[in-house]
Amino acid sequence: MAVTEIFKAIGLAVGQLSDLRFRKVFFMGIGLALVLLIGIAAAFVWLVGWLAGDATSIPWVGEVTWLDDLFSWGAGLLLMALSVFLMIPVASAITSMFLDDVADAVEAEHYPHLPAANRVPFGDAVRDTVNFMGVLIGVNLLALILYILFAPLAPLIFWTVNGFLLGREYFTLAAIRRVGRVEAKKLRRRHMGTIWVAGVLMAMPLSIPLLNLVIPILGAATFTHLFHQLVSDPRAANIQYPPR
């Protein structure tokens, strides 16, 4: 397991924050994550307020008008806690949208000798995102059973499960650009241990409010580096270099 490659990739990703081109995508990713979370929060709080109504009649108390405010504030606090889980699909969506831009910035800075990569067609990207979101939601719903049965270990289970899923997706997206879907899957299977660990290291900060906003773009950059580092002989992975 190439743990050193993981931390090297993370260091290179963080170090590129000084690059103007990378920072542009980085802040766009943060902005989109905020918009998505605020939008979900607003819709959730509105729904709770609408269900609660303007006034509620309580036996022996009479009509009260403050329950909708109480429910709305409670829903807001609940959503802050749920944002830990919400950031996983949000991170997936952001990566699917910005992976090419992030990878282009990383490769222009660190791998300038490579030719332009093949961008994933928009239709394929949408299909992959929808499929992955379905898997992500389904697996996490099943994992709720484990969270309840093994409550003290719930964070470890959460990081392990989502680290596997996120690492699998991030690496595949980074690899497809250079070697195509079939070869990307072969590389993923060959290096699954390293990819899983890298995914777990990404899932852990995704569960920390505010810090999780910066992780999707840094994760995309990290897995772009990790792909290039794990492919020790690029020509063997069908990466075509320009003639010298």
**Where are the chain's structural domains?**
3-20+85-237
The predicted pLDDT at position 69 comes to 53
CA distances from 172 to 1, 2, 67, 80, 130 (A): 18, 17, 48, 30, 15
C-alpha closest to that of 101 among 125, 133, 132, 131: 125
Residue 76, pLDDT score: 55
pLDDT under 70: residue ranges of the chain:
1, 41, 44-84, 232-244
Provide DSSP, 197-234: HHHHHHHHHHTSTTGGGSHHHHHHHHHHHHHHHH-SSG
Per-residue pLDDT tens digits for 187-198: 999 999 999 999
Question: And the tokens for 101?
Answer: 């831009």
- pTM for this structure? 0.78
DSSP 65: S
